[in-house]
């Protein structure tokens, strides 16, 4: 079976002053690695990248690279700045932190009303301005979601500059069309689907892996999925798990990423429910829903024989939960 990967989209933990807590970042890295992930997406939407400063983006990414110590690849968003020259400059800065590839937000290369020709022209300029830096694409929902059509995908692949693509197109038709183009081109680009309900389909169609927010709740379960989606002996369990994941997926998007911080805290990690992107606190109903999802997570692990990460061994027991809320 081909090697499949789960790549989490890193959240950003904060201390009580709402400053980036790098000590907890280190614990999170070890938690994800213990869960079996095979890469990290730092400085992404889950990281609240639009709510932290440029220096914080760079420092956070550099810290993740340092903590990972080459055990798995790390990618991070680089396309910040008003002009292509600005984006190229920040791309070089974040690449210098030691990441393996700098990821370009597709919505940063054309306005919502602009044509695909504008997007392609701006990408071409970015390619020229960034030398040999390995690049990727991210159909990020912000500033708006710019879905790359199969035709544009084909043209961008032909530049031989892209090594990574995080897809949020959701529809099976669009995902399959891009994966078919990738197979025809025999390109080494790694295709990751961000939509958990697509996991079984995308992996079976040839996606390299998944990179979804569900990894910020139960990464062990997502690792099990990518490892078994194409295993003919596990298809009954894969279909059952896919149905379970699809049921809860809309619920974990509510008040995200704060809800994931609550969930990870419930699992014993020293992550405070502090977010710069989500101003309000979780409601009692939202917490109850997350508590119910945690119970389902426990059941998934029990039924599928998934070993949960020993959080206490990684995080220790010195965290005072009373300081969180």
pLDDT per residue over 83-94, tens digit each? 999 999 999 999
- Better pLDDT: 324 or 148: 148
Domain-located, residue 194: yes
What's residue 317's pLDDT? 54
Count of the separate structural domains present in the chain: 1
Domain-located, residue 62: yes
Domain-located, residue 80: yes
Q: Listing from the earlier edge strand, what are the strands of the sheet with 5-6?
A: 5-6, 209-210, 190-193, 162-167, 135-138, 101-105, 74-77, 40-42
Mean pLDDT for 170-185 is: 95
> What average pLDDT does the chain have?
95
What's residue 278's pLDDT? 83
Mean pLDDT for 129-141 is: 96
Domain-located, residue 170: yes
Mean pLDDT for 70-88 is: 97
Would you say residue 155 has pLDDT above 70?
yes
Domain-located, residue 304: no
Domain-located, residue 174: yes
pLDDT-based confidence at residue 279 (cuts at 50, 70, 90): confident
Q: What is the pTM of this model?
A: 0.95
CATH code of the domain in which 21 resides = 3.20.20.70
Residue 186, Cα to own-chain centre: how many angstroms? 25
Domain-located, residue 254: no
Domain-located, residue 65: yes
- Domain carrying residue 94: 5-234
pLDDT-based confidence at residue 2 (cuts at 50, 70, 90): low
pLDDT-based confidence at residue 1 (cuts at 50, 70, 90): very low
């Amino acid at each position: 079976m081909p090697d499949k990967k789960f790549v989490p989209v890193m959240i950003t933990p904060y201390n009580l002053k709402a400053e980036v807590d790098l000590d907890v970042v280190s614990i999170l890295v070890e938690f994800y690695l213990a869960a079996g992930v095979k890469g990290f997406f730092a400085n992404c939407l889950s990281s609240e990248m639009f709510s932290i400063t440029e220096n914080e983006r760079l420092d956070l990414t550099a810290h993740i690279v340092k903590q990972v110590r080459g055990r798995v690849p790390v990618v991070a968003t680089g396309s910040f700045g008003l002009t292509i020259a600005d984006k190229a400059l920040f791309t070089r800065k974040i690449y210098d932190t030691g990441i393996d590839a700098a990821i370009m937000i597709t919505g940063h290369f054309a306005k919502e009303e602009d044509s695909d020709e504008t997007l392609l022209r701006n990408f071409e300029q970015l390619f020229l301005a960034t030398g040999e830096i390995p690049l990727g694409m991210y159909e990020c929902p912000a500033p708006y979601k710019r879905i790359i059509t199969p035709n544009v995908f084909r043209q961008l692949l032909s530049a031989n500059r892209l090594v990574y693509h995080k897809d949020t197109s959701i529809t099976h038709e669009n995902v399959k069309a891009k994966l078919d183009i990738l197979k025809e081109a025999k390109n080494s680009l790694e295709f990751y689907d961000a939509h958990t309900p697509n996991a079984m389909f995308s992996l079976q169609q040839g996606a390299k892996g998944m990179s979804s927010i569900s990894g910020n709740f139960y990464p062990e379960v997502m690792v099990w999925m990518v490892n078994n989606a194409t295993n003919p002996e596990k298809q009954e369990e894969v279909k059952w798990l896919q149905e379970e994941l699809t049921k809860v997926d809309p619920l974990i998007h509510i008040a995200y990423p704060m809800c994931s911080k609550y969930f990870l805290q419930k699992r014993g990690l020293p992550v405070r429910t502090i977010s710069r992107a989500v101003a309000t606190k979780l409601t009692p109903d939202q917490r109850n829903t997350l508590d119910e999802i945690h119970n389902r997570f426990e059941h998934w692990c029990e039924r599928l024989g998934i070993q949960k990460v020993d959080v206490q061994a990684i995080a220790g027991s010195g965290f005072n939960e009373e300081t969180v809320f």
